[in-house]
Amino acid sequence: MRKNIKYAMILLTICAVSAFALALTNSITSPVIAQMDADNRLKALEAVSAGYDIGEQKEVTDQAFVTYVIDLKKDAGIAGYILGLKTAGYGGEMTLVASYTAQGEMLFAQLLTHNETPGLGKKAEDDGYMDKFKGTGDSKPVPTNKTMLSAGDAQAVSGSSVTFTAIAKAINGGSEYVKSLGGVK
Amino acid sequence: MKANLKEFTKGIFKENPVFVIVLGLCPTLGVSSQVSNAIGMSAGVLFVLLFSNIFISALRKVIPASIHIPAYIVIIASLVTIIEMVMHAFVPAVYSALGVYLPLIVVNCIILGRAEAFASRNTVLDSILDALGMSIGFALGITLIALIRELFGSGTITLFPVGTFSGVINIPWFINNPIRVLALAPGALLLMGFLKAFFDWNTLRKKDR
């Protein structure tokens, strides 16, 4: 009994010291990480804004893929929308931002956070990955299956079908949501 | 001094963790699709292995044998979480490149294996030398596999971007004629098998002499 209490106390001490070291590291790194995330998000919004003015963010809670919507304004009118999207990839949740015309055609998209496999699904971060979805969602359907892609694009997503399908479904869901907003206001 | 040096050099070739002891195969196969990932993973393993060996060796007379595993796991998991937070905050490019493999260092057999087999029975100095040697051995193994996989599987060599250099070197001919299977998981297993066979053959050849 005494031996067990001794073992428990040793483990408790190791855990307490570890928890203190973790708390100390977290207190130093978390403000830096939060600032970096905010900067990245701002950069991503500017990158997908297509030169339009970025409006206020409104939360969306009743959609499978859309988490927030931001109006893209031109001459006091709404030219389109930026949507915050979330979807489930191979490594868990992925978040992205995508801009659409008011008719639901995707303009630009950028991956924000993910845990996809390096060398495979992680390629979704690369410049040009989202080009295969550009201009789709209105007259042209969003490619939600590899068979809807050109041979070159299908080869590029080879080995990472789960990531591709997850992103495609989110972009398609975003397009449908924009269409449900009723076009140009 | 010579004995200390032996603790350092053994991990590089004679007891190479990848090709001889065959430890840490999960990250070796998973991360070796690009050279930059292999280098980042090696840096993570070096940090965690070095500090876990130091702590475990220093506490070897305090931690009883019956609670080795839970104590080691807490120490290793804490070190990995610390390195993850520090990398995320201060070297986000490497953090992003390593992705899911960084937290997986917790269950990297090299870390726990060296803690149990070496650091818990040896002095802090020897444990530091063991960690350095094993880390270099791991880095050589995983980088060699990554170099072959990326060169033949994708026709590129990916390093880290510096200034105007994007970090990706396109290798003429190979980029247009990649052996795709090498870039995928089965290719990693195949290559690992061939390299292990080569190292075993080389060891046996030396013994025969």
Residues 6 or more apart in contact with residue B194 via CB below 8 angstroms: none
Chain B residues in contact with A125 (beta carbon < 8 A): 96
Does residue B124 register a pLDDT over 90? Answer: yes
pLDDT of residue A124: 81
For the whole model, what pTM was predicted?
0.73
User: Stretch B105-126: mean pLDDT, rounded?
Assistant: 90
- Split at pLDDT 50, 70, 90, the class of B160 is confident
User: Stretch A25-54: mean pLDDT, rounded?
Assistant: 91
For residue A130, which of A159, A153, A160, A155 has the smallest C-alpha distance? A153
Percentage above 90 pLDDT, chain A? 39
CB A82 within 8 Å of CB A98:
yes
pLDDT of residue A27: 97
CB B27 within 8 Å of CB B46:
no
Does residue B127 register a pLDDT over 90? Answer: yes
Of A26, A118, A125, the CB nearest to B37: A118
* Chain A contact for B42 (CB, 8 A cutoff): no
| ipTM value greater than 0.85 | no
Indicate the domain borders of chain A: 1-36, 49-180
pLDDT of residue A183: 60
Per-residue b or e along B53-89, where b marks 16 or more CB atoms closer than 10 Å to that residue's CB = bbbbbebbeebeeeebeebbebbbbbbbbbbbbbbbb
Q: For chain A, how many residues are written?
A: 185
CA-CA distance, B50 to B44, in Å (whole number)? Answer: 10
* Chain A contact for B110 (CB, 8 A cutoff): no
pLDDT of residue B94: 74
Q: For chain B, how many residues are written?
A: 209
What average pLDDT is seen over chain A?
A: 87
Gap from A143 CA to chain B (nearest CA, Å): 24
Q: Express each pLDDT in B83-107 by its tens digit.
A: 899 989 998 877 876 777 788 888 8
Residues 6 or more apart in contact with residue A133 via CB below 8 angstroms: A106, A109, A142, A143, A167, A168, A171
CA-CA distance, B146 to A144, in Å (whole number)? Answer: 32
Give the A-side interface with B, CB within 8 Å. Answer: 6-7, 10-11, 14-15, 18, 21-22, 25-26, 28-30, 32-33, 36, 91, 114-120, 122, 125, 158-159
User: Stretch B126-148: mean pLDDT, rounded?
Assistant: 94
Of A22, A36, A118, the CB nearest to B78: A22
Percentage above 70 pLDDT, chain A? 97
User: Stretch B68-73: mean pLDDT, rounded?
Assistant: 92
